[in-house]
Structures are given as structure tokens and as C-alpha cells.
């Protein structure tokens, strides 16, 4: 067999293995990534859709769920009621806050989405590209739990459910306090 055929066969075999790995890898809401976990959370600061200034550094002393989303992302739309339920369950105790960061979305579409679907937490919709890059976001939804000390506790790739967020929060409270 000629060296060209051997090389072509090797490249083809490598491609088949890569396709097999990608096709069978774990995906979806149960996939947790270690990117940023244990590190100080990158900055998030900007104007919200309500015209308020919001800064992650001002949240020190409490847990924060940072949710990257898009109004055109089906898993983001599905997870939104779960985030609303989670926020409502913690409103009285005020032990955790949520902030949503729009990912490659139109600010007016983001405003309309929250007006129609609820969610009384801060939402950053303009000039969020740098924030997404700093957090390493490549696809939405992605959610992070940031500890009261400002460190990323967990990163969840895919839509979240209120019950899962609750479990993550309880575990984080045990390990930090």
C-alpha cells in the first residue's frame, strides 16, 4: 500500500473516531464543566434592561446564579420558568440572587421576553460580548453559581431546573459555611 493511501486511511480512521466520540459524549442539562470552578468569577458589570447599574462585585456576601441565555434558544426558553420558580423560592430569605446575561441577542427582544415571561432579577442585554468571552461562554444556556466570596462554585451547561439549582446551592452552602 502506498504511503498516500496509508495516510488517507489514518486520517479517515481518526475522523471516524472523532465523530464517534462527539456523537456519544454526554450532553444536555446534566453536563457539568469544570471551567472556572474554584476560580474568582470574572467581572460582570453593566446597565440592566431597567436602566440600573449592576456589578457582580457588589453582590459579595451572597450567592449569585449567573445565567447566560438567548431569547431564541429553545433550552433557554424552557429553563426560564425554572429560574423564575427558584428566584421566587428564595425571594423572602434573599440568600441567592440571579443575574441574566444576554448572549448575542437584541436588547429589545430581551426586554420583551422578560416582560412576557417574568423574572424580576437584573438582566444585562447590551454590550455583553466581552462578559461572555471572559466567562468562556460558547453556547447557551450556561449557568454558574458564584459563592459569597466571589468564587465560581459550579458551572452547568444546558438548561437548569429549580430542583437542581436548589441541590447545588445546598451543597455549596455546606462546603462554604
In a domain, 60, yes or no: yes
In a domain, 94, yes or no: yes
Contact 136, 35 (CB under 8 A): yes
Average pLDDT over residues 140-158: 94
pLDDT at 28 over 70: no
Residue with cell 424580576: 120
pTM: 0.80
In a domain, 71, yes or no: yes
In a domain, 17, yes or no: no
In a domain, 114, yes or no: yes
In a domain, 91, yes or no: yes
Most distant CA atoms of the chain, gap in Å: 73
Tell me, what CATH number does 132's domain have? Answer: 3.40.30.10
Residue-wise pLDDT tens digits, 101-127: 999 999 999 999 999 999 999 999 999
CA angle 53-124-37, nearest 5°? Answer: 105
In a domain, 166, yes or no: yes
Host domain of residue 145? 29-176
Per residue, the 3-state secondary structure of the chain, as one string, reads CCHHHHHHHHHHHHHHHHHHHHHHCCCCCCEEECCCCCCECCCCEEEECCCCEEEHHHHCCCEEEEEEECCCCHHHHHHHHHHHHHHHHHCCCCCEEEEEEECCCCHHHHHHHHHHHCCCCCEECCCCHHHHHHHCCCCCCEEEEECCCCEEEEEEECCCCHHHHHHHHHHHHHHHC
Provide the number of structural domains found in the chain: 1
Residue-wise pLDDT tens digits, 53-66: 999 999 999 999 99
Residues above pLDDT 70, as percent of the chain: 81
Angstrom distance (rounded) from CA 103 to CA 151: 22
In a domain, 160, yes or no: yes
Amino acid at each position: 500500500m502506498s504511503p498516500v493511501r496509508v495516510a488517507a486511511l489514518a486520517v479517515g480512521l481518526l475522523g471516524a473516531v472523532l465523530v464517534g466520540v462527539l456523537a456519544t459524549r454526554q450532553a444536555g442539562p446534566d453536563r457539568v464543566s469544570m471551567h472556572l470552578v474554584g476560580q474568582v468569577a470574572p467581572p460582570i458589570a453593566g446597565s440592566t434592561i431597567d436602566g440600573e447599574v449592576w456589578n457582580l462585585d457588589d453582590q459579595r456576601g451572597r450567592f449569585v446564579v449567573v445565567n447566560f441565555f438567548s431569547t431564541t434558544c429553545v433550552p433557554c426558553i424552557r429553563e426560564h420558568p425554572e429560574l423564575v420558580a427558584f428566584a421566587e423560592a428564595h425571594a423572602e430569605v434573599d440568600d441567592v440572587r440571579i443575574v441574566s446575561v444576554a448572549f448575542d441577542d437584541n436588547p429589545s427582544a430581551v426586554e420583551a421576553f422578560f416582560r412576557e415571561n417574568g423574572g424580576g432579577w437584573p438582566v444585562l442585554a447590551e454590550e455583553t460580548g466581552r462578559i461572555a468571552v471572559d466567562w468562556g461562554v460558547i453556547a447557551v444556556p450556561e449557568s454558574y453559581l458564584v459563592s459569597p466570596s466571589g468564587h465560581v462554585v459550579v458551572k452547568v451547561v444546558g438548561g437548569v431546573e429549580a430542583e437542581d439549582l436548589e441541590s447545588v446551592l445546598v451543597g455549596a452552602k455546606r462546603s462554604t459555611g
